[in-house]
Amino acid sequence: MVVTKLTLLLLSIRAILSYPNTAEVVKRDPNTKLVLWGTRHGNRNPEQFVYKTPSSWGFEGNTELTQFGKRQAYGLGRELRKFVGDLVDGNYLPSQAKYYSSSANRCQMTLQTALAGFYTPTGWADWQRTRFDFWSPVPYSIDDPLLRMYAVKNCPASDQAWKPISEDTLPDLAKIVSENRELLGYIARNTNWTLSVSSAADLADNIIEMDLYGAPYPSWIANPSLPGFNGATFKRAVLSFGEKHQIRCTEYEPCRDLMGGVWINHILESIENAVKGEGPRVIGYSSHTEVTLAVIKLLGVERHELTTSAGFLLEYRNVPTPSIRILNHDPDPIDKHVIYKAKYTPELSKIADKSGWIPKEKFVALAAKHTIQDWETACGRSPCTPSLPLPYA
């Protein structure tokens, strides 16, 4: 019986956190000159905890990276090293690589842990063999306009783009609230949270953590008194709300373009540097669902959700001709990670070969439509607004 429960738990976690098992796993092209990778942070705690539930989990605090998130990130770093190989040294060198994170703790810790998996210091870099033989600190830059635009202060355009999403007034979100009012009301009554899509998403996050830690559900979740639901159907309904607002942002053009535009511009600038033989060979970014998924869509990849520690890779090669390839990466489901072929949009597929390589100039022409070169203007800041240095802006 115990084996059955553990098997069901693993299958449940795998269904929530894993990559599609039909994916085509790929390796780095030998002519690749630049690898860019972007990731959503690893598994984190919910923004709101179900009252009295976290007795064996949640100690890190709300929205903080969990032990599972750290393991996912470490697995990502290990898989990235397998993919990148000798494109960069095993010891960190600033001329070879550059890394960026949003200011959120969960993103910084995801990046730190991924880099612990990516780099194994040896020789001159092996600074403390007694306790830290396999780790050395790696520098990174915090850049919220690049990776967390929704948190940048004094950004009216962001506030305006998020307002109909956060308030569930977009027609499809309003319909979801209307059609699920009894379910949302039941959640609100048992949690003392607001009746909203966001609250249901928070409950979904709680359920995911309960499953990961093997914690029991409160009785109102395990045996709901809501007519028409049993434990299994209630859980399934709640999980369908996971990351609903973040995903909706990536489908809503004003939100998607603002969240991803600065990052797209950074990617294209990095490619141009690589064309000239300048800049780092590896660039990594740690961000959030609504930003990372927005970028994936703007790059021309068909993807509709993004689990924790999942994201994309982009390769640039100059032989036989300058070209770009985009890949996905996903956890499988926690400690292992997989890098596999991405599914392109029809527009991108038309100009790609069967291996997914796209002529560089044609790729740039498509992606450049979505760049933001001046984030302050894109935010709608008035010309007289003082510009403060990060992270105070």
Alpha-carbon gap, residue 345 to 350, rounded angstroms? 9
Percent of the chain topping pLDDT 90: 85
Residues 6+ apart with CB under 8 A from 348: 300, 301, 358, 363, 366
Please, are residues 146 and 372 in contact by the beta-carbon 8 Å criterion? Answer: no
Kindly state the average pLDDT of the residues 164-187. 98
- Helix, strand and coil in the chain, % to nearest 5: 45, 15, 40
pLDDT at 73 over 80: yes
Say how many residues make up the chain: 393
Instruction: Name which of 65, 62, 71 is nearest 206 in CA terms.
Output: 62
Residues 6+ apart with CB under 8 A from 377: none
Alpha-carbon gap, residue 214 to 209, rounded angstroms? 8
The confidence score (pLDDT) of residue 388 equals 52
Q: What is the pLDDT of residues 102-118, one digit of tens each?
A: 999 999 999 999 999 99
Instruction: Give the residue, 309 or 125, on which the prediction is more confident.
Output: 309
Three-class DSSP category at 100: strand
The confidence score (pLDDT) of residue 276 equals 97
The confidence score (pLDDT) of residue 5 equals 42
Q: Report domain extents, the chain.
A: 2-49+64-153+252-377, 171-242
- Is the CATH code 3.40.50.1240 the one for domain 2-49+64-153+252-377? yes
- The tally of CA atoms less than 13 A away on the side-chain side of residue 85 is 10
- The one-letter amino acid code at 298 reads L
Alpha-carbon gap, residue 256 to 94, rounded angstroms? 32
Alpha-carbon gap, residue 167 to 43, rounded angstroms? 26
Q: Which helix (H) or strand (E) holds 331?
A: strand 323-331
Q: What is the pLDDT of residues 28-54, one digit of tens each?
A: 999 999 999 999 999 999 999 997 777
The confidence score (pLDDT) of residue 16 equals 54
Please, are residues 329 and 311 in contact by the beta-carbon 8 Å criterion? Answer: yes
Start-to-end CA span in the chain (Å):
55
- The one-letter amino acid code at 337 reads H
Kindly state the average pLDDT of the residues 52-64. 89
pLDDT at 182 over 70: yes
User: Which residue, chain included where needed, has tokens 């703790």?
Assistant: 105
